[in-house]
Amino acid sequence: MLLLKVMVRGPKEDVKKACQQLLELTTERQLSSYSAEVHAKPQHHKFLIGKNGANIKKIRDLTGARIVFPTEKDENKEVITITGKQKAVELAKAQLEATIKEIVSSRRRAII
């Protein structure tokens, strides 16, 4: 973990206000730095994303989480990364996992 030292100089009230704002930003940053991973076969990604990104946009808008699908450069094509506040990440993860389960079960029914 990288530790930085910050020195704030100026009029007493301004310094106090600046320090408070820095603490708030640090706290917000820590709250927003939660992440999780969901595994889905690459052939399922298009169903998770949906037509014109509709499915994934709905999850992003509902949760506020950032959801990143692997690119061609990524070694593991099955890992979808979710970042944001803990509650948002957990909700997005649950929704993605439920959708993956639906996709897998509907494909099994189609095969049978």
For residue range 5-31, list pLDDT tens digits in order.
888 999 999 999 999 998 888 877 766
- Domain presence at residue 79: yes
Cβ neighbours of 99 (radius 10 Å): 19
Helices 42-49, 54-63: axis angle to 10 degrees equals: 70
Is residue 21 in a domain?
no
pLDDT number for residue 48: 95
Instruction: Tell me if 99 is assigned to some domain.
Output: yes
Does residue 71 fall inside a structural domain?
yes
Domain enclosing residue 49, as ranges: 34-111
Domain count, the chain: 1
Retrieve residue 48's tokens.
Answer: 């998770």
Taking residues 48-69, report their average pLDDT.
96
> Which residue's structure tokens are 């099955």?
78
Q: Kindly provide the b/e burial profile for residues 58-74, where b requires at least 16 CB atoms within 10 angstroms of the residue's own CB.
A: ebbeebebebebbeeee
Q: How far apart are CA 103 and CA 100, in angstroms?
A: 5
Is there a domain that residue 58 lies in? Answer: yes
The string of pLDDT tens digits covering residues 63-83 is 999 999 999 899 999 999 999
CATH number for 48: 3.30.1370.10
39-67: average pLDDT: 95
DSSP one-letter code for 27:
H
pLDDT classification of 57: cutoffs 50, 70, 90 = very high
- Asked if the structure places residue 49 within a domain, the reply is yes
The answer, yes or no, to whether residue 43 has pLDDT greater than 60, is: yes
17 is a domain residue: no
Let me know if residue 26 belongs to a domain.
no
pLDDT of 53: 95
pLDDT for res 111:
62
